[in-house]
Amino acid sequence: MRGVTTAQPLTRGRGSRRAEILEAAAALFAARGFHGTSIEDIGGAVGTSGPALYRHFSGKEALLAEMLLDVSERLHTSAANRVTEAPDAEHALDALLTGQIEFALSHPALITVHDRELGNVPEPARRQIRRLQRLYVEEWVTVLSELYPGCPPPRLRAATHAVFGLLNSTPHSAGELDPEAMAGLLRSMARAALARAQS
């Protein structure tokens, strides 16, 4: 029984394993939390047993770090691009909303983990994630400042966080509405909410 049943890598696509692990881990972290999920759980979810993960990540925290870094990078660069390409602030805001809603609807687990587990990321990476998050928020605040001049930035920042809360509620109300309708509802609610930040 020693090393007899080994298992089949069977010509897997390059790096697909890492991605598969990250995806499984995201789902588990979202459902049970970082500390509530064991390495064995994650391994099990991808069909290998526990320690196999160390062939792909240096540890559990590193795995989380990579996951969150990737999310905050995607959010931020997507936002930056959209804003740059928009003809005016009005369209920029629409584009930001679209980006966040698309992401939240298609990756609910990542969204959940992203705003729950930052505290478990070890220091070198944590700072960078925070930085990207801050930049992402500032992307919104900048657009909103242009749209509602005269509204103090702290208020816009608070409003932005509130809208994130609204948009990221998706994982909690999963299944109530189909994605199309949900996207429309969220967009419309968010726009209306933001319009109230100016007063």
* Region of 49 on the Ramachandran plot (φ > 0 left; ψ -120 to 50 alpha; else beta): beta
- Residue 50's binding partner among DNA, a copy of itself, none (Cβ under 5 to 8 angstroms by kind) is DNA
Q: In this chain, which stretch among 11-19, 161-169, 175-183, 186-194 interacts with DNA, using CB under 7 A?
A: 11-19
**Binds 2: which of a copy of itself, DNA, none (CB < 5-8 Å by kind):** DNA
Using the rule CB under 7 A, is 55 a contact of DNA?
yes
Closest to DNA by CB, 123 vs 180, is: 123
124 near DNA, judged by CB under 7 A:
no
Give the C-alpha separation, 188 to 64, whole Å. 33
- Contact (Cβ atoms closer than 8 angstroms) between residue 109 and residue 24: no
Q: Quick check: 120 binds DNA (CB under 7 A)?
A: no
197 contact, one of a copy of itself, DNA, none, CB 5-8 Å limit per kind: a copy of itself
Closest of 48, 51, 69 to residue 60, by C-alpha: 51
Question: Nearest Cα to 73, choosing from 125, 141, 5?
Answer: 125
Q: Which of 39, 68, 132, 159 binds DNA (CB under 7 A)?
A: 39
For position 119 contacting DNA by CB under 7 A, the verdict is no
Region class of 15: left (phi > 0), else alpha (psi between -120 and 50), else beta: left
40 near DNA, judged by CB under 7 A = yes
Q: Which is nearer to a copy of itself, 12 or 35 (CB)?
A: 35
19 binding DNA? (CB under 7 A): no
In single-letter form, the type of residue at position 106 comes to: S
The CA-CA-CA angle for residues 115, 84, 110, to 5°, reads 20
> How far lies 149's CA from each of 90, 155, 174, 175, 198, in Å?
13, 12, 36, 38, 8
Q: How far is the CB of 53 from DNA (least distance, A)?
A: 8
Site residues (vs a copy of itself, CB under 8 A)? 31-36, 115-116, 119-120, 154-155, 157-159, 161-169, 172-173, 176-177, 181-182, 185-186, 188-197, 199
Examine residue 3 and tell whether it contacts DNA (CB under 7 A): yes
**What is the DSSP-derived secondary structure letter of residue 12?**
P
